[in-house]
Amino acid sequence: MKSLRLMLLLLLGLLPLGALAAPEFTALRVSPPSEDGSQTYSVTLQVLGFMTAMTFLPLALMMMTSFARIIIVLAILRQALGTMSTPSNQILLGLSLFLTVFIMMPVFDRAYEQGLKPYMDEQVSLQQALQTGSQPFREFMMAQTRDSDIGLFAEISGAGELDTPDKVPFSLLMPAFLTSELKTAFQIGFLIMIPFLVIDLVVASLLMSMGMMMLSPMIISLPFKIMLFVLIDGWSLVMGTLATSFYV
């Protein structure tokens, strides 16, 4: 719940602050009771902004957290094993989501203490809470982002040279962060696929040498790949590697 409220606070920062600070403006006004006793109620722009921000939660989850790297690596692992749809997409999404929460919890806690809690206690304004609450996310994203990717998008946007990390805007940091995450995810996936590829090559060579060309190598190599993955405690290795690959 604390993490959800924090993400909603950050998403509200994408909305005009004037609309958030003026709840007296209404999208629908209250009408007097009619003869049958019915009455219509107003919906403030603040509530509309809040409901709109909720639709951006999945986007923020992918763009500002470790979710993208995790789900890509797990998808490559499933492809390397050759188990087709096992584990299912729902299981992979669940694993990615819970591992993301585990990795991002220190960032969520810092952002809550620095931004959301003072705002809920009415100690700071919404704008100040957004600035301080987004700082832990900025530090996390900067730690995972390559300087070359930041330079690439800075050159594309015409922002020029950025001397310090504080001068990197969120609009530039987000695509650079995602690009770096894609690179890292494919590098990890490549290393994971190598031992399974070796098994496929060995099995295919043996079948061809025995003249069994009509037999699919995938059918024969699948039990060996699963056995190897289980013997080395593969799930623990993959999850541990993903968890420690982030700099928090």
Q: What is the pLDDT of residue 1?
A: 53
Residue position matching structure tokens 């600035």: 131
φ/ψ of residue 26, rounded to 5: -120, 145
Contact 79, 67 (CB under 8 A): no
The CA distance from 183 to 200, in Å, is: 25
Within its chain, how far is the Cα of 70 from the centroid? 8
pLDDT (0 to 100) of residue 2: 54
Mean pLDDT of the chain: 77
Which residue has 């003249």 as its token pair?
211
Q: DSSP for 7-50?
A: HHHHHHTTS-HHHHT-TT-BSSPPPPP-TTS------BHHHHHH
**pLDDT recorded at residue 31:** 54
| First-to-last C-alpha distance (Å) of the chain | 21
Q: Give 129's contacts (C-beta < 8 A, 6+ positions apart).
A: 9, 115, 116, 118, 119
pTM score over 0.85: no
Q: Point out the residues of the chain with pLDDT beneath 50.
A: 4, 11-28, 30
pLDDT digits (tens, 9 = 90+) for 165-206: 677 887 888 888 999 999 999 999 999 999 998 988 888 888
- Cβ-based neighbours of 22, under 8 Å, separated by 6 or more: 45
Residue type at position 167: K
